[in-house]
Protein backbone atom coordinates (compact mmCIF):
# COMPACT_ATOMS: atom_id res chain seq x y z
CA UNK A 1 0.00 0.00 0.00
CA UNK A 2 0.91 3.67 0.02
CA UNK A 3 3.89 4.77 2.11
CA UNK A 4 5.40 7.92 3.58
CA UNK A 5 8.59 8.60 1.58
CA UNK A 6 11.36 11.07 2.46
CA UNK A 7 13.45 12.46 -0.41
CA UNK A 8 17.00 13.72 0.17
CA UNK A 9 19.64 14.78 -2.30
CA UNK A 10 22.00 17.45 -3.49
CA UNK A 11 21.54 21.08 -4.41
CA UNK A 12 23.89 20.56 -7.36
CA UNK A 13 22.50 18.19 -9.94
CA UNK A 14 22.25 18.20 -13.72
CA UNK A 15 19.08 18.83 -15.68
CA UNK A 16 18.64 15.17 -16.72
CA UNK A 17 18.85 13.97 -13.12
CA UNK A 18 16.38 16.65 -12.06
CA UNK A 19 13.95 15.38 -14.72
CA UNK A 20 14.35 11.78 -13.53
CA UNK A 21 13.71 12.76 -9.88
CA UNK A 22 10.69 14.82 -10.96
CA UNK A 23 9.21 11.84 -12.84
CA UNK A 24 9.85 9.53 -9.88
CA UNK A 25 8.17 11.94 -7.47
CA UNK A 26 5.22 12.35 -9.85
CA UNK A 27 4.78 8.57 -10.14
CA UNK A 28 5.01 8.05 -6.37
CA UNK A 29 2.31 10.63 -5.68
CA UNK A 30 0.08 9.20 -8.43
CA UNK A 31 0.26 5.87 -6.60
CA UNK A 32 -0.97 7.50 -3.37
CA UNK A 33 2.40 7.80 -1.58
CA UNK A 34 2.98 10.83 0.69
CA UNK A 35 6.21 12.64 -0.14
CA UNK A 36 8.28 14.53 2.46
CA UNK A 37 11.21 16.70 1.39
CA UNK A 38 12.98 19.95 2.18
CA UNK A 39 12.82 23.19 0.21
CA UNK A 40 16.30 23.49 -1.26
CA UNK A 41 17.15 23.78 -4.93
CA UNK A 42 18.25 20.72 -6.93
CA UNK A 43 16.82 17.40 -5.77
CA UNK A 44 14.21 18.87 -3.42
CA UNK A 45 12.92 21.34 -6.01
CA UNK A 46 12.60 18.50 -8.55
CA UNK A 47 10.69 16.41 -6.00
CA UNK A 48 8.33 19.32 -5.33
CA UNK A 49 7.72 20.00 -9.04
CA UNK A 50 6.93 16.34 -9.70
CA UNK A 51 4.59 16.03 -6.73
CA UNK A 52 2.76 19.24 -7.69
CA UNK A 53 2.32 17.96 -11.23
CA UNK A 54 0.41 14.98 -9.84
CA UNK A 55 -2.21 17.45 -8.54
CA UNK A 56 -2.48 15.87 -5.08
CA UNK A 57 -1.30 18.69 -2.78
CA UNK A 58 -2.37 16.65 0.26
CA UNK A 59 0.37 14.11 -0.52
CA UNK A 60 3.30 16.56 -0.41
CA UNK A 61 4.83 17.97 2.77
CA UNK A 62 7.85 20.27 2.62
CA UNK A 63 9.80 20.63 5.88
CA UNK A 64 12.00 23.73 5.83
CA UNK A 65 15.17 23.84 7.95
CA UNK A 66 14.39 27.46 8.87
CA UNK A 67 11.56 29.96 8.33
CA UNK A 68 10.24 30.63 4.84
CA UNK A 69 11.75 34.12 4.88
CA UNK A 70 15.26 32.59 5.19
CA UNK A 71 14.81 30.58 1.96
CA UNK A 72 16.26 31.81 -1.35
CA UNK A 73 13.78 33.71 -3.55
CA UNK A 74 13.90 30.94 -6.18
CA UNK A 75 12.79 28.40 -3.55
CA UNK A 76 10.10 30.69 -2.12
CA UNK A 77 8.42 31.01 -5.54
CA UNK A 78 8.05 27.24 -5.78
CA UNK A 79 7.05 26.86 -2.12
CA UNK A 80 4.16 29.30 -2.62
CA UNK A 81 2.47 26.50 -4.61
CA UNK A 82 2.82 23.94 -1.78
CA UNK A 83 -0.13 23.42 0.57
CA UNK A 84 1.74 21.72 3.46
CA UNK A 85 4.88 23.68 4.42
CA UNK A 86 6.41 23.18 7.87
CA UNK A 87 8.77 25.97 8.94
CA UNK A 88 11.41 25.29 11.62
CA UNK A 89 11.59 28.92 12.74
CA UNK A 90 13.40 27.93 15.93
CA UNK A 91 16.45 27.14 13.77
CA UNK A 92 16.73 30.61 12.20
CA UNK A 93 19.75 31.54 14.33
CA UNK A 94 21.62 28.31 13.48
CA UNK A 95 23.98 27.92 10.52
CA UNK A 96 22.11 26.43 7.54
CA UNK A 97 24.15 23.21 7.66
CA UNK A 98 23.13 22.51 11.27
CA UNK A 99 19.51 23.54 10.64
CA UNK A 100 19.41 21.22 7.59
CA UNK A 101 20.70 18.29 9.65
CA UNK A 102 17.92 18.82 12.22
CA UNK A 103 15.38 19.16 9.42
CA UNK A 104 16.54 15.93 7.74
CA UNK A 105 16.30 14.10 11.07
CA UNK A 106 12.72 15.35 11.35
CA UNK A 107 11.88 14.11 7.84
CA UNK A 108 13.32 10.67 8.62
Helices (H), 1-94: 15-30, 43-53, 73-79
Q: Tens of pLDDT along 10-56?
A: 777 888 898 999 999 999 999 999 999 988 788 899 999 999 999 99
pTM over 0.95: no
Q: Is the pLDDT of residue 74 over 90?
A: no
- List residues bridging with 10 in a β-sheet: none
Distance CA 102, CA 33 (A): 24
Q: Tens of pLDDT along 88-101?
A: 999 999 998 898 88
The helix-helix angle for 15-30 and 43-53 (nearest 10°) equals 40
User: Which pLDDT score, from 0 to 100, does residue 14 have?
Assistant: 84
- Kindly compute the dihedral angle of the four CA atoms of residues 81, 78, 107, 61, in this order, to the nearest 10 degrees: 10
Q: Is the pLDDT of residue 102 over 90?
A: no
Query: How wide is the angle at C-alpha 30 spanned by C-alphas 32 and 104, nearest 5°?
Result: 65
Q: What are phi and psi of 84, to 5 degrees?
A: -105, 95
**pLDDT tier for residue 65 given thresholds of 50, 70 and 90:** very high
User: Which pLDDT score, from 0 to 100, does residue 108 have?
Assistant: 81
Amino acid sequence: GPKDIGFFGTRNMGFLHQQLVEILSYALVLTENHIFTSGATGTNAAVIRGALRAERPDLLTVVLPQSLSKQPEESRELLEKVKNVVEMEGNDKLPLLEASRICNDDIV
